[in-house]
A and B are shown apart, each in its own frame.
Chain A
Amino acid sequence: MSDQTNQAPLLEVKHLRKLFPAKSGFLAKEKTYIKAVDDVSFTLMPKETLGVVGESGCGKSTMGRSVLRLIEPTEGEILYKGEDFRQAGGQQLRKMRSDMQIIFQDPYASLNPRMTVGEIIAEPLNIQKRCGSKEEVREQVLKVMEVVGLNPKYYNRYPHEFSGGQRQRIGIARAIVLQPSLVVCDEPVSALDVSIQSQVLNLLRKLQESMGMAYIFISHNLSVIKHISDRVMVMYLGHVVEMADKKELFDNASHPYTQALLSAIPVPERHSRRKKIILQGDLPSPANPPSGCIFHTRCFMAQEICSKQKPELKEIADGHLCACHFCGLNKGE
Chain B
Amino acid sequence: MGEKLLEVQGLKTWFHTDAGLSKAVNDVSFFVEKGKTLGIVGESGCGKSITSLSIMGLVQTPPGEIAGGKILFEGEDLLEKTEEEMRSIRGKKIAMIFQEPMTSLNPVFTIGQQLIETLMLHENLTKQQAREKGIEMLKLVKIPLAEKRFDEYPHQLSGGMRQRVMIAMALCCSPKLLICDEPTTALDVTIQAQILELINELKEQTGTSVMMITHDLGVIAEVADDVMVMYAGKVVEHATCDQIFEKPMHPYTYGLMNCIPKLDDDDTKELSVIEGMVPSFDDMPKGCAFCPRCPEAMDICREKMPKLSEAEGRMVRCFKYTEEWEESSHE
Binding site for B on A (CB under 8 A): 55-56, 163, 165-166, 193-199, 201-202, 205, 220-224, 226-228, 246, 250, 260-270, 272, 276, 278-283
Contacts and interface: CB of A to CB of B under 8 A. Distances in A.
A55 B271 contact: no
A282 B158 contact: yes
B218 A224 contact: no
B273 interface: yes
Contacts of B265: 226-227
Interface of B: 43-44, 144, 158-161, 188-194, 196-197, 215-222, 241-242, 245-246, 255-257, 259-263, 265, 267, 270-275, 277-278
Nearest to B46: A193
Contacts of A193: 43-44, 215, 278
A198 B275 CA distance: 10
Given A195-B259, A198-B272, A279-B194, A270 B189 contact: no
A166 B273 CA distance: 15
Contact of A267 (B161, B263, B275): B263
Contacts of A260: 190
A80 to B, nearest CB: 28
Given A55-B188, A194-B215, A202-B273, A270 B260 contact: no
B271 A268 contact: no
Given A201-B261, A270-B241, 9 more contacts: A194-B256, A202-B270, A220-B189, A250-B263, A265-B263, A268-B260, A270-B246, A276-B193, A279-B194
B197 A268 contact: no
Contacts of B256: 194-195
28 contacts: A55-B188, A55-B190, A56-B188, A194-B217, A194-B259, A195-B43, A197-B260, A198-B260, A205-B270, A222-B189, A223-B263, A226-B261, A263-B193, A264-B189, A265-B189, A265-B218, A266-B192, A266-B216, A267-B221, A267-B262, A268-B218, A270-B242, A272-B221, A276-B193, A279-B194, A280-B194, A281-B144, A282-B160
Contacts of A280: 194
Contact of A269 (B196, B197, B221): B221
B220 A268 contact: yes
Nearest to A227: B261
A163 B265 CA distance: 28
Contacts of B222: 266
A261 B261 contact: no
A223 B245 contact: no
A98 B241 CA distance: 50
Given A195-B274, A268-B257, A220 B218 contact: no
Given A198-B260, A282-B160, A267 B190 contact: no
A196 B215 CA distance: 12
Contact of B194 (A202, A226, A228, A278): A278
Nearest to A56: B188
A325 B275 CA distance: 48
